[in-house]
Amino acid sequence: MRVSGGLNNNSISSLYNTLFQGKVAMHNNRLSRDLFPTNNAQGQSALGAGAMQYISEIKSAATALSGALKELSGPAFSQNTMVSSDTDVMTVKYSGNNLSSMNDIKVQVDQIAMGQLNEGARLSSSALYGGDRGTNRFTIETGGKTTQLSINVAAGDSNRDVQQKMATAINNAGIGLKATVETDSKTNMSTLRVESTNVGTADRNAFTIRDTTGNAAAMTGANDVSRERQDAIFRVNGGEAQVSQSNTVTLATGLTATLRAASEQEVSVVRGKDVNTAISAVESMARSFNNMFSAAAGNIADPKAQGLASRTINISAAYSRALSEIGISFDGSGRMLVNSQQLSRAAENGKLEQFFMENRGKNFGFTASMGRLADNVSTNTSNFVSSSSFGNSFGENFTYSGFGAMNQISAMGTGSLLDYMF
């Protein structure tokens, strides 16, 4: 495996496997003679972990990023399933295996299943609390069990302070209730809301709140029921009303729906594009993008790595406004963020497909520009690491002549050593 004779793909692959199986010692002499003729043994004996890890990270991330972008350039939007015409009212999921046999369905959602809601009094948020000070105890009865909770009311507590203390105590109890304090910034009024996380009219979903020591429940209105629990009511294809204690209902074999809001208009369920495939591809793209960018940006000593980070940022910046419209943004460091709800809406209304496919087959657009960069990093990984940075990681006494041997290999038409190794 001498430089003068050239290296073929098999010999490079063998070298890669040897190095990463921890068998470097048995090849030290060969490496010293053929690839690093002027280096000392210490510098030649092992590849630096830092440089090797960086190259491996950007290649792996770029390969995954390229794959996700290719998926988003067409295949992700070609899968069919059953879809809802109004996902604000109802979403559907088809898990059957005979889509061609499915007929269109009309669904009328009269009401959705809800849990009990206690909405307390509207109190001046910053005003001094007027109830009992010290330890206030109260019980919550739900699901056939009674739980006693307590809070300590300090002399200077405001109404909102006490409301928040009660909300925290209820949430920490883990008894199937969710408590929040809502504040109206315009009026400076705050309200304690306590809601069952379970829906439907089952007795186990009811709850009561009572004071046992002090009057915190009464003063905040936490014991006032503002909405009774209720079941879902819906109709399929104009049929009889159906009642469900859950908002997840079966419409047909292999077809389930999640009821989200009541509506006077029927919702159509028809064959259409599977947005979940596209959403998954976008999430995969974001993960791969962040992995590649973080590896490059974090390698601050390497100018080529910093160049890769800059190119990634430049492409992102050029399409940042369009990306933000479909739920994709960037944090202060340049990492990609995905707003799941906005992304889902964009997938459902077609904006996601429009963004990723409008420039398909052209040399511009986010998909094409980022795809070219990812392909370049994946196939020409060594172009994104500086020879000096790579060399320094070989060992404290490594000199540049070894990298010159790699350049000699490349000049002979066999490709750089790094390209073959990764």
Of the chain, the percentage scoring pLDDT greater than 90 comes to: 59
CA distance 294 to 146: 50
CB atoms within 10 A of CB 379: 14
DSSP state of 210: E
Chain segment 44-74, per-residue pLDDT in tens: 333 356 778 888 999 999 999 999 999 888 7
Residue of 174, 125, 124, 127 whose CA lies nearest to 149: 174
Q: Sign (positive/negative) of CA torsion 61, 336, 372, 408?
A: negative
Region of 278 on the Ramachandran plot (φ > 0 left; ψ -120 to 50 alpha; else beta): alpha
Contact indicator for 343, 328 with CB cutoff of 8 Å: yes
Q: Sign (positive/negative) of CA torsion 237, 241, 242, 245?
A: positive
What is the CATH code of the structural domain delimited by 117-227? 2.60.40
CATH 2.60.40 placement within the chain = 117-227
CA distance 101 to 239: 21
Which one is predicted more confidently, 366 or 2?
Answer: 366
Half-sphere exposure of 246 (CA within 13 A, CB side): 6
In which residue are the tokens 């959602």 written?
A: 109
* pLDDT band, residue 14 (cuts 50/70/90): very low
**pLDDT above 70 (res 390):** no
Which residues does 171 contact at the CB level (< 8 Å), separation at least 6?
177, 178, 179
Which residues does 369 contact at the CB level (< 8 Å), separation at least 6?
315, 318, 319
Residue of 359, 339, 357 whose CA lies nearest to 77: 357
CA distance 416 to 382: 7
Half-sphere exposure of 146 (CA within 13 A, CB side): 8
Contact indicator for 209, 219 with CB cutoff of 8 Å: no
Phi, psi of 293 (to 5 degrees): -65, -45
Q: What would the two tokens of residue 196 be?
A: 């069952």
91 sits in which H/E element = strand 90-94
Chain segment 312-346, per-residue pLDDT in tens: 999 999 999 999 999 999 998 899 999 998 998 89
Chain segment 276-287, per-residue pLDDT in tens: 888 999 999 999
In which residue are the tokens 């105890």 written?
A: 137
Residue of 234, 232, 236, 233 whose CA lies nearest to 103: 236
**pLDDT above 60 (res 236):** yes
